[in-house]
Structure 1
Amino acid sequence: MNMTYPKSIVLMAILIACTWSIPATAAVAPGSPPAWTAEDTLNVTVITSVDLSPDGTRVAYTTRRPVMTENRSEFLSVLHLAQADGTADREVFNDGCSRMSPLWSPDGTRLAYLSTESGVPNIFVANPDGTGAVQVTDTETGVAQFDWSPDGKRIAYLAENPLSAEEEQAIEGGEDPIVIGSTYRVVRLWVADVAGNPDARPLTPDDRSVGAWGWSPDGKSIAFTHAPAPDERYVYDVSLSRVDTTTGDVALLLPPGNRTTYDQPRYSPDGKWIACMVMHPFNIVDIIKIPAYGGEPATVASSLDEGLALTAGGLWWSADGESLLLPTARGTAIAVTAFPANGSAPRDLFACGTIGSFGMNRDCSQIFYTAEDSLVPQEVYVTPADGYSPVQVTHHNADLPLERLGTTEVIRWNSTDGLTIEGILTLPANYTPGERYPLLVETHGGPSAEFCRHFIGGTSWPICPAGTFSSLGYAIFRPNIRGSTGYGAEFARANYRDWGGGDYRDVIAGVDHLIAEGVADPDRLAIIGQSYGGYMTAWAVTQTDRFDAAIVIAGITDFVSVDGTHDIVYDLHDNFGVYYWEDYSLYLSRSPVYHVGNVTTPTLIVHGEHDIRVPVGQAQEFYDALWKRGVPAEMVVYPRAGHFPGEPKQILDLYGREIAWCERYLQ
């Protein structure tokens, strides 16, 4: 789906974005440190990918760097090389070209990485110092994911099928209608010779679209997940198979499950087992293992509520093959947990406020990860796998002026039904006990996600510049309401068929708690959220007039219309238990636009022009209704943006608008 928007609205958004600035009213209190600005937030170094050399002595990683000139607004991915003891950290290249996803060769002599030098991401291999670079693939569709074979002679990768001569001719002749459900490009698994053989060959047939995969230890086979097409309509039609890397013969290991899908197949060190994750609705995960040549699966762990931990780097076998390691959600933290392969009780190896990347070196003797906490910026760490003893490898954010930020604490309160809810409270940088402050409530996306203890001054959780709001004298409240992950499967399912019910009351109970504690000023309350958080924000202003300002980013406002236009075709059915035609009253009664006649709160509505997760019509419906009713409202559409703005200038513009909206209506 590729939604477009009227050119008049897009041009207006471009014009506004070019002229916006944070107003002079956004000033810090007298005697406070200088403000932590939105620019400061954007310039905090974010580490995007990491790999540890086989011998554990060197770390290759990439950072994200904003590039903003008169004609350019993008993030550059910069490749770095450091010693694992934290010394000799340097950039490998310095030519302004993005390089991503570095992977060490099995013998540790070379680095493979993705580069956009050819226009789309392709695989290159170079010496660790960047010399002798050779382009390995030349695919016109771009490489999505890759890995070395165990012997280091081949690289397998994912890429869409290239256009056939007939398809190219049809496009040139204007005879290329898009038939929904039929017109798609299958993603296949390919293998290329590292020497640069241009004739890479597909390993998987063209009637299966590959998702996740992993090499066997001897390199003779690859386990992979696949569906009939790369379409969310087939999310519950995923199988697990094995392909012979020489003959291309495919053997089915697991057929599609019941409302489940498979992910991250991983061979055991001895090659006898394949472990994988079984994904259920609400981000509930099981870990299973199956004999590598077929047989009945065995359960390693079940009913894990993973949420954001799923993005941290996946499933890894221990060196002895006795356990499987996985980052797991633990309330406002992420733990690395060892799950014994025999199904016995797991144990947490260590936990951090947030883990962004996680993995192990080739012999699984060492663990690498990125970590951060509320006042600890993100860096890379390495620890032995058999005993937690971390060494900080990078120091990109060592000199940040952290005194400009308020402290953060984990708080708990009882909701209206007595259920204990947990959240994160960031205090104003100039906080004085007993004084009340304007409160900004942020609701997270998902809903199967959670607020972890990200560094508040950066963009690891990018929806709003919490550090800037803190330095301007705001308290920022991030509740993990029912439906959040990290608190058990039952809690993750607790808003089933009840969006806008118990979850909303959890938010309001948390606000009341902070008022009772003397922190929040009841006359200066704002609420913001993106995606499901945008829905919660839109819903809140239809249920109460207590908020003085609201900011809805990519929020669902009409469940009936979004169900037929967004890209996750089973999402609302999984959350509501019925399709809208089976229970219109449920879908309508929980849609903010159905209650828009109650809204009096000034509302800023923000959306990406090309958002296929929550199409831009959701913003238009809500804005149009508020405009007709005379409620103060603005709608901003970002050109080229998807579910959240991705260009640095757009992110800065959004931050400026958020601050200005709150300053306008709360001060």
Structure 2
Amino acid sequence: MMNGANYLSIEEVISIPKFMETAISDDGRYAAYVKQTADWEENAYVNHVWLYNREAGKSYPLTIGKNESTQPRFSPDSKYLACIGVSGEGENRKKEIYIQTLGDTHAYQASPDCYSIEEFKWSPDSKGIYFKARRLESESLKKRKEMYGEFYYVDKDFEYEALYFLNLETGGKELYDPLPHGKMTPAVEPLTEQMDLQIHSYDISFDCKHIVFSAAPTPRAVDSMDQELYILHRTTKEIDKVDASPLQAGEVLFSPGGTRLCYTCYEKEKAIYNNRTIEIYDLETQRTIRPVQDIDEHIIPVRWTPNGILISWQEKTNFLAGIVSETGKITSLVSKEDMVASAPSITWDQSTFVCVKQTSTTPAEVYINHEPITSRSVAYKGKIQSEKEVVTWRTEDGLEIEGVLSKPVDFADSKSYPLIVAVHGGPAGTSFAVPTTNKYQPIESFIAKGFLVLEPNYRGSTGYGQAFRKANYRYLGLGDYEDVVSGVDSLIEKGYVDAERVGILGWSQGGYISALCATYSTRFKAVSVGAGISNWITYYANTDITHFTRFYLGSDPWTDEEIYRKTSPMTYINNACTPTLIQHGEKDGRVPLPNAFELYRGLKDRGVPAELVLFKEMKHSSHQPGLNRAILKQNLHWFCHYLLDEPFQFV
């Protein structure tokens, strides 16, 4: 094996920049993107918008240091760039709209201080900005706090996000050409503040006379599937409900002519595991068409241009982008093989396309058409990367499963290696065959230590069609276990893997599958459970997404307790014998903390070696590089101890 020091270290993996949220000015002269980096001194991940000048071939950040920025948006007239500026900490953290004249180097706050902006869009005439923000606190609520202190009624006291219009013209000329110390107060017009609705997606007609928006009855995640469409008429201020598909699911766009809508909707019935396609609704005839018929996956509409709709979708371990016409013809904008293309954007005339692209051998970069404008690959200079191969196998019940196998560059098929199975979350997630950036599973460090790493895209994963995503319906964990074990068996049969040295780890749904492997099976020599479910009944009663469990298990635990017990790791706790590391965020609302304590106490009572690590203030995932470093090192040391007999190291 080659010198392990040549592979990326844990700190180097965490430090690799991440690119998100691209934008392109409609004249094609400027591009923008968000670059996330690890600030080790502040122990934080920070986001900054970078502006790229195509003529100069150079880019620079709009913000630096603690003052972050996200959501770059060019004005339709290509004169200005707006973004969300983020400042402050904790309860004082604020998100405000900043505007910069292209060609200038200074951005100025445009939105009033009283709003914390969640998302925004330019008006098509560039004269204003529509934004979504949490409604301001009502007088009645202020009085209640003063009289009694702070409390809230569960499922009643909602903090809705409403839609507003920021009129830039009323702010005066200084808004676009401000004095250095000028304080601007442009007018803000509430648009949906009077409605008890949670705004999700929205768009503005090209003539600026109408706004279409999708809204749910409450901000609860469980109600996000009950969105409906509305149109707000700017002249009369009347709001009409659109009698479109009852399967509507968000992401709505106006056609260039303003007579049609495009929105995502479920193909058949509203269920988490079912496909979401795009539907076009004619406002005059009230007829609908579904232009895409040949893609068996979720379709995401991005922008409706005169020559078609920019969409993105997934095919197995490829993520693609293209233009679809109303007749259903799809023109691909990226290669269809070995390609993960994300955050696409395109000019109005479709002459310039921007996205983040990566392959199995090239790290993610921001591209304009086919040319990279970033240099993330510098992070890999002088380093060896594990080789990624997509492998397939069949389960006993006949499913074909794919997985990503990471191997050392000097891999020998005549040699048996210890194996780590790294399970993605979701379950509707995917492991892609791209250079490692995983901040929960130390894949490159495992490879450097002599392991192979298998990342199975088990039943329920995205990219393999609706039937595959539904294949673990009322079979959660158990079917996933079959997918994982059959993948391990296929590698053992090839002679690649030492059957006595196999471990498994995962986070979230991956942590649940790992927990089931710890109690249901003796196949693994060591297990790590990250933010995993151990008891579906406990989970159901405490999580913020109770509908997730009802969809996958087919009922609630009070109606069908048997299916909840059958698929819960705690049901099999008396069989447990595998050393298990449990990692969990102290403030996790998605997979609540009792799941970690139940598994830990059950293992300890059975005399099984177990460690429980709680990360203070952390929710379902980490937003601190220091905590990610701890998670990665704890996992590395755990498996090196139990599979390689190395002395155990506590981090």
TM-score past 0.5 threshold: yes
Alpha-carbon distance, 1:31 to partner = 4.3
Q: Give the secondary-structure state (helix, strand or coil) at the position aligned to 2:412.
A: coil
Which residue of 368, 373, 387 maps to 2:354? 368
Corresponding position: 1:300 with 2:277: no
What CA deviation, in whole Å up to 9, does each residue of 1:115-165 have, x standing for no partner?
A: 124640110111235644321112545111101101111000110101123
1:563 aligns to what?
540
Q: In structure 2, what is the equivalent of residue 40 of structure 1?
A: 12
Return the offset for 1:646: 1.3
Q: 1:379 corresponds to which residue?
A: 365
Number of the residue aligned with 1:536: 513
**Which of 189, 195, 207 in structure 2 is aligned with 1:201?**
189
Residue in structure 2 matched with residue 59 of structure 1 by the alignment: 31
2:256 counterpart residue number = 269
**Rounded Cα–Cα distance in structure 2 between residues aligned with 1:84 and 1:507:** 47
1:491 alignment partner in structure 2: 468
Aligned to 2:48: 78
CA pair 289-31 structure 1, distance change in 2 beyond 3 A: closer
Which whole-Å CA distance do the structure 2 matches of 1:302 and 1:515 have between them? 40
Match of 2:77 in 1: 107
Residue of 288, 291, 294 corresponding to 2:279: 288
What is the correspondence of 1:141-290 to structure 2 with a 5 Å cutoff? 141-194=115-168, 195=171, 196-204=184-192, 205-254=194-243, 257=246, 260-279=247-266, 280=270, 281-290=272-281
Q: Could you say which residue in structure 2 is the equivalent of 1:508?
A: 485
C-alpha change, 1:556 and 1:399, in structure 2 (3 Å) is closer
Q: Could you say what secondary structure the match of 1:564 adopts?
A: helix
Contact residue 278 and residue 287 of structure 1 kept, 8 A = yes
CA 235–80 in structure 1, closer or farther in 2 if over 3 Å, else same: closer
Counterpart in the other structure of 2:434: 454
Closer/same/farther in 2, CA of residues 431 and 455 from structure 1, 3 Å limit: same
Q: Which residue of the partner structure matches residue 317 of structure 1?
A: 304
The separation in 2 between residues aligned to 1:141 and 1:289, in whole angstroms, is 34
Matched residues in 2 for 1:294 and 1:452: separation?
A: 43
Aligned to 1:422: 402
TM-score normalised by structure 1 residue count: 0.88
Q: Against the structure 1 CA distance between its residues 578 and 55, is the aligned structure 2 distance closer, same or farther, given a 3 Å change threshold?
A: same
Matched, 1:631 2:622: no
User: How far 1:113 moved relative to its partner?
Assistant: 0.8
Conservation of the 8 A alpha-carbon contact between 2:82 and 2:100: yes
Residues 253 and 293 in structure 1, CA contact (< 8 A), matched pair in contact too: no
In the alignment, the residues of structure 2 paired with residue 347 and residue 208 of structure 1 have an alpha-carbon distance, to the nearest angstrom, of 37
The answer to whether the Cα contact below 8 Å between 1:304 and 1:489 also exists between their aligned partners in 2 is: no
1:427·1:470 contact (CA, 8 Å) conserved in 2?
yes
Equivalent residue in structure 1 for 2:60, among 79, 90, 94: 90
Deviations 1:539-580 (A, max 9, x none): 122222121111111111111111121111211111122222
For residues 14-53 of structure 1, the aligned pairs below 5 Å read 31-53=3-25
Offset at residue 304 of structure 1 (A): 5.3
CA contact (8 A) 1:62 1:100 kept: yes
Residue correspondence of structure 1 range 297-446 to structure 2 within 5 A: 297-301=288-292, 306=297, 314-320=301-307, 323-342=308-327, 344=328, 346=330, 348-350=332-334, 351=336, 353-383=339-369, 390-398=370-378, 400-401=380-381, 403-446=383-426
C-alpha separation in 2, matches of 1:402 and 1:329 = 32
* 2:297/2:465 contact within 8 Å kept: no
CA contact (8 A) 1:305 1:485 kept: no
Cα distance in 2, alignment partners of residues 624 and 198 from structure 1: 58
Contact 1:84/1:382 (8 A) holds in 2: no
Among 137, 148, 151, which residue is 2:111 paired with? 137
Instruction: Structure 1: state its 5+ residue gaps.
Output: 1-28, 384-389
CA contact (8 A) 2:227 2:250 kept: no
2:603–2:609 CA contact under 8 A, matched in 1: yes
After TM superposition, give the deviation of residue 348 of structure 1 in Å: 4.0
C-alpha displacement of 1:345 = 5.6
Q: CA deviation at 1:429?
A: 4.2
Contact map agreement 2:7 2:383 (CA 8 A) in 1: no
RMSD of aligned C-alpha atoms? 2.2
Match of 1:601 in 2: 578
Amino acid at match of 2:116: G
Distance 1:305 1:185, change over 3 A: farther
Distance 1:365 1:634, change over 3 A: same
Partner of 2:177 in structure 1?
none
Instruction: Give the superposition deviation at 1:518.
Output: 1.9
Instruction: Quote the Cα distance in structure 2 between the aligned partners of 1:434 and 1:86.
Output: 53
- Counterpart of 2:440 in 1: which secondary structure? coil
**Matched residue, 2:174:** none
Contact 2:8 2:383 (8 Å CA) reproduced: no
For structure 2, the residue ranges without an aligned partner over 5 or more in a row are: 172-183, 645-651
Q: Could you say if the C-alpha distance between residues 229 and 256 of structure 1 is closer, same or farther in structure 2, counting changes exceeding 3 Å? A: farther
Compared CA separation, residues 54 and 241, structure 1 to 2 (3 A): same
The answer for the alignment partner of 1:16 in structure 2 is none
Q: Measure how far apart 1:211 and its partner are.
A: 0.6
Q: Is the 8 A contact 2:133 2:161 kept in 1?
A: yes
Residue matched to 1:7 = none
Distance change (3 Å), C-alpha of 1:222 and 1:402: farther
**Which whole-Å CA distance do the structure 2 matches of 1:302 and 1:528 have between them?**
37
Q: Secondary structure at the match of 2:44?
A: strand
* Letter in structure 1 aligned against 2:506: G
Aligned-partner Cα distance in 1 for 2:65–2:4? 40
Return the offset for 1:649: 0.8
Query: What is the distance in 1 between the residues matched to 2:79 and 2:513?
Result: 51
